[in-house]
């Protein structure tokens, strides 16, 4: 079973996270940020990952530390749960429409961290969520999962739809990338012999 548990306690956040890569899409998310909870629930469902997250953060300041640290922990969980990466497809990409928005994400489970974004979110907030935290979350996730992630906004006018499109598209991309390919289930998908 490809799973991981992450506990992270700082002066800013206290996080307990559990991930099952080969799940059913079940989510039990409570970060103290309603919009982030909604996005992570969508991510779990569309990726078919079972995810449990409890985060107590300094949301009296803002959501920055919570969003960043949840991204760190989820990235660490994927990195740990994938182990030596033997047999995985490694790559995944999806273009997903969300009403008027159209989002492309592409992932390489490369062992090298990189986040490259071409998002143009038109508003500064969705509810009380600062939309700039979208890039903060994915940058943290990519760094701590040791993945390369590209996000390209092909269309979009509604900030909620754009961000939701990113989470749904990436869920499908990473689901493809972490899937085990029977053709090389005993091999690490790299000519270097490691990822």
User: What are 93-122's pLDDT values in tens digits?
Assistant: 999 999 999 999 999 999 999 999 999 999
Least confident interval from 51-60, 69-78, 160-169, 178-187? 178-187
**Do residues 70 and 134 make contact, with C-beta atoms less than 8 angstroms apart?**
no
CATH 3.40.50.12780 fits 3-184, yes or no: no
User: Tell me, what's the pLDDT at 193?
Assistant: 66
User: Tell me, what's the pLDDT at 187?
Assistant: 79
Closest CA to 49 of 144, 150, 173: 173
Total-model pTM:
0.95
User: Tell me, what's the pLDDT at 194?
Assistant: 64
**Do residues 81 and 73 make contact, with C-beta atoms less than 8 angstroms apart?**
no
Q: Give buried/exposed letters for 134-153 (b at 16+ CB in 10 A, else e).
A: bebbbbbbbbbbbbbbbbbb
Which residues of the chain form beta strands (DSSP E)?
3-9, 13-20, 27-30, 50-57, 91-98, 101-108, 114-118, 125-126, 129-130, 148-155
Radius of gyration of the chain from its Cα atoms, rounded to whole angstroms:
16
User: Tell me, what's the pLDDT at 6?
Assistant: 98
Measured in degrees and rounded to the nearest 5, phi and psi for residue 182 equal -60, -25
Does position 191 have pLDDT exceeding 70, yes or no? no
What's the first-to-final CA gap in the chain, in angstroms? 20
Least confident interval from 64-73, 151-160, 178-187? 178-187
């Amino acid at each position: 079973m490809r799973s991981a548990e992450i506990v992270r306690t700082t002066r800013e956040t206290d996080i307990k996270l559990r991930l099952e890569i080969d799940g059913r899409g079940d989510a039990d998310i409570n970060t103290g940020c309603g919009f982030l909870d909604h996005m992570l629930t969508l991510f779990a469902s569309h990726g078919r990952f079972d995810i449990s997250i409890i985060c107590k953060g300094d949301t009296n300041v803002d959501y920055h530390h919570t969003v960043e640290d949840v991204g760190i922990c989820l990235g660490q969980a994927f990195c740990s749960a994938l182990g030596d990466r033997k047999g995985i497809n490694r790559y995944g990409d999806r273009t997903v429409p969300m009403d008027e928005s159209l989002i492309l994400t592409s992932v390489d489970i490369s062992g090298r961290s990189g986040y490259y974004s071409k998002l143009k979110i038109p508003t500064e907030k969705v509810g009380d969520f600062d939309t700039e935290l979208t890039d903060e979350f994915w940058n943290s996730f990519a760094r701590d999962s040791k993945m390369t992630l590209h996000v390209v906004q092909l269309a979009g006018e509604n900030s909620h739809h754009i961000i939701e499109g990113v989470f749904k598209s990436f869920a499908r991309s990473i689901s493809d990338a972490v899937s085990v390919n029977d053709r090389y289930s005993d091999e690490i998908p790299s000519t270097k012999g490691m990822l």
